[in-house]
Amino acid sequence: MPLIQRHLFGPGPSNPYPEATAALGHPLLGHLDPAFLDVMDSACDGLRTVWGTDNRRTLPLSATGSAGMEAAFVNTVEEGDVVVVAVNGLFGERMCDVAARCGAEVVRVDFPYGEPIDPQRVAEAHPSPKIIAAVHAETSTGVRSDIAALGELKGDALLLVDAVTSIGGIELRADDWGVDLGYAGTQKCLGVAPGLAPFTISDAAFERRVQHPRSWYLDLGMLGGYVGEAQGRARTYHHTAPTAMIASLDAALRRIAEEGLENVWARHQAAGDALQAGLQDMGLELFAAEGHRLPELTTVKVPEGVDSAWVRAYLLEHFSVEIGAGVKEYANTVWRIGLMGPNADAGSVALVLGALQEALRKVPALV
C-alpha cells in the first residue's frame, strides 16, 4: 500500500510542520535521559512564548486537548463550586459536561452558534463564581471571542480558557488577559500531530487547586515533580512522557520562534482573509458573524441544493483535500475549512478554492 498524503484542511489535525515530522524520526530518548530533559525544558519555554505567559507551570500534558479540559476542571473544582461557562459552540457545551462531572454547579450562559460570547453577560451570570470558563476560538463555528474583555470583568473568579485552536495561530496573551489557567492541543495551529495538551496555570490558581483531585494521571500537584515546577535533572518519574511527541512539539515551537510568533499570526490572518474573500467571490456565504471570524478556521454555508457529503468526498478523492462538516444541526449545511500551521499559506488557499469550484461544478443536483 502506498502512503497517502492528504491536505488536512479540516478542523484538525492539520498537516504538521516538516520540522515536527522530522523530529519523530530521531532516535528515541528515555524520559529521564538528561538529553531529553533539555528537550522538555526547551519545549516548556517555547510553550510559555506561544501562551504569552511567564507561568512556571506551563507543560505539555501527555494526552490530547480534551484531557487538558479535564485537567483544568478536575484540578480546580470541588463539589458544589460554581462554574460559569460561556457556551457558543460544541466545546463550550463539553466544558459544561466536564465541569458537572467534577461536581460543579454549572451556570451556563448561551449564545447563538456563529456569534461570539458577550463578556458582560458572562461576568454578570453569577455574583461569586469560583471559575469563569470560555473558549477563545470555537472550532465548531469559526468564531473568536474576546478573552481580554472577560479577563477585565472576572473579579475574584479564576479565568479558565480553551485555547486549543488559537494557540500558535492568532493573538494569545494569557498573562496580559488575566487567564489563570488554560489548555490547548498540538494538532491545530501548532502544526504537530495530535497527542499532547499544552497547559498553563498561574501560581495563584495553583494555590487554589483541589488538594487531592479525583484524577491521578492529571493531578497537577503530582505532575509538578516531573514537569512544571521541577526543571532539568531535578525531575522525577510520574508517568512515561511521550518523548518522541515532545521532541516533535519542541521542533515545531522552535520553527515558530524562528519565523517569529507575530509573523506566524500574520500568516494565518492573511491566509484566512484570502480564503474568506475567495469563497465570497464564488458567491458562497460565510457562517460566522462578521468581525469575529477566525482566520484559521472558516465556516461557510453549503449552497442550497448541494449535497455536502458528496462535495467533501469529491475533494478527498480528486484532490486529497480534507475539509470538515458542520457540527450538530449544521452537519449538512456548513463546511469547516481549516488553514492551520504550515497550511496557512497562499498555495493552500488556491488549492482549496480551486478544488471546491470544480466540485461545485460537478455536484449532481439533489432530488
Question: Is 121 known as a binding-site position?
Answer: no
Q: Which residue has cell 510568533?
A: 261
Q: What is the rounded CA–CA span in Å between residue 54 and residue 48?
A: 6
Contact map string, positions 87 to 126, toward ligand PLP, x by CB under 6 A:
----x-----------------------------------
Contact call for residues 185 and 38 (beta carbons, < 8 A) = no
Contact call for residue 9 and ligand PLP (CB under 6 A): no
Q: How far is the CB of 281 from ligand PLP (least distance, A)?
A: 27
Contact call for residue 76 and ligand PLP (CB under 6 A): no
Give the DSSP letter of residue 178.
Answer: T
Contact call for residue 162 and ligand PLP (CB under 6 A): yes
Counting residues that bind ligand PLP (by CB under 6 A) gives 12
Q: Could you say which of 41, 173, 194, 284 contacts ligand PLP (CB under 6 A)?
A: 194
Stretch that binds ligand PLP, among 159-167, 207-215, 230-238, 355-363 (CB under 6 A): 159-167
Nearest by Cα to 187 from 211, 214, 209, 168: 168
Instruction: Please list every residue from 129 through 158 that binds ligand PLP, using CB under 6 A.
Output: 135, 139
Stretch that binds ligand PLP, among 25-33, 162-170, 306-314, 330-338 (CB under 6 A): 162-170
Stretch that binds ligand PLP, among 61-69, 248-256, 268-276, 356-364 (CB under 6 A): 61-69
Which value, in Å, is the radius of gyration of the alpha carbons in the chain?
Answer: 20
Strand partners of residue 61: 197
User: Between residues 177 and 319, which has the closer beta carbon with respect to ligand PLP?
Assistant: 177
User: Between residues 306 and 327, which has the closer beta carbon with respect to ligand PLP?
Assistant: 327
User: Between residues 64 and 348, which has the closer beta carbon with respect to ligand PLP?
Assistant: 64
Strand partners of residue 60: 198
Q: What is the rounded CA–CA span in Å between residue 18 and residue 25?
A: 11
Contact call for residue 64 and ligand PLP (CB under 6 A): yes
Q: Which residues, 6+ apart, have CB-to-CB distance to 197 below 8 Å?
A: 60, 61, 63, 64, 65, 66, 67, 68, 71, 183, 184, 185, 186
Contact call for residue 161 and ligand PLP (CB under 6 A): no
Q: Which residues, 6+ apart, have CB-to-CB distance to 161 below 8 Å?
A: 133, 134, 135, 136, 147, 174, 179, 181, 182
Q: Could you say which of 185, 191, 224, 324 contacts ligand PLP (CB under 6 A)?
A: 185
User: Between residues 64 and 202, which has the closer beta carbon with respect to ligand PLP?
Assistant: 64
Q: What is the rounded CA–CA span in Å between residue 345 and residue 340?
A: 9
Sheet holding 324-325, edge to edge: 297-301, 334-338, 324-325
Residues making up the binding site for substrate: 336
Where on the chain is the footprint of ligand PLP (CB under 6 A)? Answer: 12, 64-66, 91, 135, 139, 162, 164-165, 185, 194
